[in-house]
Amino acid sequence: MSFLAPLFLLGALAIAGPVIFHLIRRNTKEKFSFSSLMFLRADPPRVTRKSKLEDVLLLLLRCTLLAVMALAFSRPFLRNNVNTVNDPSAGQRMVILLDASASMQREGLWEKAQKQAQDSLKELEPTDSLTILTFDNQTTPLMQFDQWQELPEPDRIPAAIETLKATKPGWAGSHLGNAILNAAELLEENEHLGASKIVIITDRQEGIQLEGLQGYEWPPGIQISLKTVKPETAGNAGIQLKPLQETEDSATHSIRLTNSEDSSNEEFRLTWIKHKQNASTNNITVYVPAGQSRTVKAPRRPPGEGWQLNLLGDTHPFDNTLHITPLIPEPLRIHYLGNEQADDINSMRFYLERAFSTTRLQHVSVVGHPTTTQSIELNRADDRLLIIGDTIKESQVDDIRKFIENGHSVLLALKSESMSGSLTALAKSGPVPLTEARVDKYALLSQLDFEHPLLAPFHEPRYSDFTKIHFWKHRSLDPARLPGAKILARFDNGDPALMDLRIGRGHLFILTCGWQPEDSQLALASKFVPLLYSMLELGESRGKLKSNYFSGETIKLPGKSDQNRILYGPDGKLEVPAGTTTFNAKQPGLYTLEESQSVSFAVNVSPRESKTSLLPMERLDALNLPFSAKNNQT
């Protein structure tokens, strides 16, 4: 039996507490007054030994409880060392799992891993069969059982050695759990009377992923041999980009530095270096003690392209470069269909123009269209929201409905009864009459549906109070004339205030009033801007990428995929075939997808690969893996 947390066994020393308390004799301190002692017989106190235990059963129960608690907290487990008897004449099937993740880029590790793999080949007999797999976050076959069997017996081991020599470690993370399961499935595919063995060659770094192994029912007869390779020099420091916040300076970034527990260095420098050049600039000194991490502001990025942030002073530089895309605000266009002037203080467009501000992350522009426009072009990647503030033409209906069907949002603000025809045309329903509602002083909103995605941001009690918004006028309609429409809010007289009609993948939002001063105080309320942004987020984005990805991660490419596209990366020009919507970046660096609007993204080494301290063997033992009796470390 072994323990995951053996220090908790020291808690068993608390057993001494109940024993001591049972030995303590407490004399009573209470005194009783008697009027006379003449009728009482004198009786001397009975003397007992202080070391005598009383209530022994209660004492044993208390001691047992403390011992069981100490044992439970120490997390005991039984090692599962498999020694099975197989038919020697059937031969052995061996699967070599070779770690090819980014942490294997450390100096000396790959050479040691190659030697361990070649030593494993020497154990093979002519009747044995072999499969070689490399693994990072995916498992890749280099040689399989059928390929091994097809080779002449004298050529098998030399061919395997040449295959191993042609392999290099990559830049992705390491998922040992999936690799072991894939190897076990290969061995289980066909019945075999001989022994089955999985040889794992890895640096066993702390960031390795083990998901999927807990509770797995191992097929009988499989043994696992773990061979751990260690670098010549211990220690490693890593660099990671923290998410950009709206309040931060656009020219600086928050950087998280980590230093492994076995590191002997704690002084590093952060500096910007031009790609493929050694000259550095704008550097700062950072102190990170071993086993700790620090978050610091990076030095200001120099102007121009091709700069990358580097960490200097580390023993192993494989994870010391951080690629950061230059911050370019995402362009968003909001279309307003109406005859109002942008500077008319009594119009809805006046308040709409001032609702959106340009930030470092988004650049929102409002594009106005008079109702005399025959058609509206809504096919650009940055077209996200359409607001209708006046009666539309019949020639505009198809363009607007197509925009909604493609996954965007349209807000129809019914500021007059004359917009009944526009609502009917867009909803493609029967006539939907509008009447002016009778309002006594003002109306208030009620019965808001905070479960709907549009109003979900207001769900918390501190944001859900809409009672301070006064509505002087609004239009009444019968919601039964709009099949499928969902009422999101009502006025206090029961009339619908805000409705959602799904058309295709998008939303047609129907507001039964305007936000100009004549109709309401909505534009002056604190809820107005968040409500518009919520509609904006519901609109489908066709050109948005995260700024940072990790090597080996599958990236969903934006835009249309009906034709070949060009992607520029560290290795130069790559062609993305038509119909391809994903891309797997094998190498860190900056990538640019060429479209009508070019989009860039950065790929870096996963922060898990920077956790190079040795994973405790107890973590693997606790997964009940069928380890053989001997595991090597070199």
Give the separation between CA 280 and CA 620, rounded to whole angstroms.
Answer: 43
Rg of the chain in Å (alpha carbons): 36
The mean per-residue pLDDT over the stretch 176-195 comes to: 85
Class of domain 237-324: mainly beta
Give the separation between CA 622 and CA 214, rounded to whole angstroms.
Answer: 9
> Hey, what are 4's tokens?
């995951």
Give the separation between CA 440 and CA 248, rounded to whole angstroms.
Answer: 48
The answer to whether the beta carbons of residues 221 and 625 sit under 8 Å apart is no
What's phi and psi for 161, nearest 5 deg? Answer: -65, -40
Tallying the residues shown for the chain, one arrives at 634
Predicted pLDDT of residue 131: 94
The mean per-residue pLDDT over the stretch 551-570 comes to: 83
**Domain locations in the chain as residue ranges:** 2-29+49-77, 88-230+616-633, 237-324, 330-538, 548-603
Mean pLDDT of the residues in the chain:
85
Specify the 3-state DSSP secondary structure of 360. coil
pLDDT tens by residue, 30-49 = 676 767 777 777 777 665 55
Give the separation between CA 439 and CA 367, rounded to whole angstroms.
Answer: 34
With CA atoms as reference, report the closest residue to 321 among 263, 290, 277, 360: 277
The one-letter amino acid code at 265 reads N
Give the separation between CA 390 and CA 372, rounded to whole angstroms.
Answer: 11
Q: At what angle do helices 420-427 and 394-405 cross, to 10 degrees?
A: 50
The answer to whether the beta carbons of residues 308 and 302 sit under 8 Å apart is no
Predicted pLDDT of residue 220: 81
Higher pLDDT, 356 or 479: 479
> Hey, what are 508's tokens?
């047609």
Give the separation between CA 141 and CA 131, rounded to whole angstroms.
Answer: 8
Class of domain 330-538: alpha beta
> Would you give the DSSP letter of residue 340?
-
pTM: 0.64
pLDDT tens by residue, 194-223 = 788 999 999 999 999 999 888 888 888 889
CATH architecture of 88-230+616-633: 3-Layer(aba) Sandwich (3.40)
Predicted pLDDT of residue 71: 84
> Hey, what are 307's tokens?
């700069």
The mean per-residue pLDDT over the stretch 1-13 comes to: 77
Predicted pLDDT of residue 30: 64
The one-letter amino acid code at 595 reads E
Is 330-538 the same fold as 237-324? no
pLDDT tens by residue, 426-437 = 998 889 999 999
CB-based burial label for 215 (10 Å; 0-12, 13-18, 19+): exposed
* CB proximity list for 434: less than 8 A, separation 6 or greater: 414, 417, 419, 420, 423, 475, 476, 477, 512
Give the separation between CA 279 and CA 276, rounded to whole angstroms.
Answer: 9
Give the separation between CA 240 and CA 134, rounded to whole angstroms.
Answer: 26
Give the separation between CA 228 and CA 231, rounded to whole angstroms.
Answer: 10
pLDDT tens by residue, 259-312 = 998 888 999 999 998 876 766 677 899 999 998 999 999 888 888 778 889 999
The answer to whether the beta carbons of residues 527 and 469 sit under 8 Å apart is yes
The answer to whether the beta carbons of residues 131 and 143 sit under 8 Å apart is yes
Give the separation between CA 153 and CA 165, rounded to whole angstroms.
Answer: 20
What's phi and psi for 523, nearest 5 deg? Answer: -65, -20
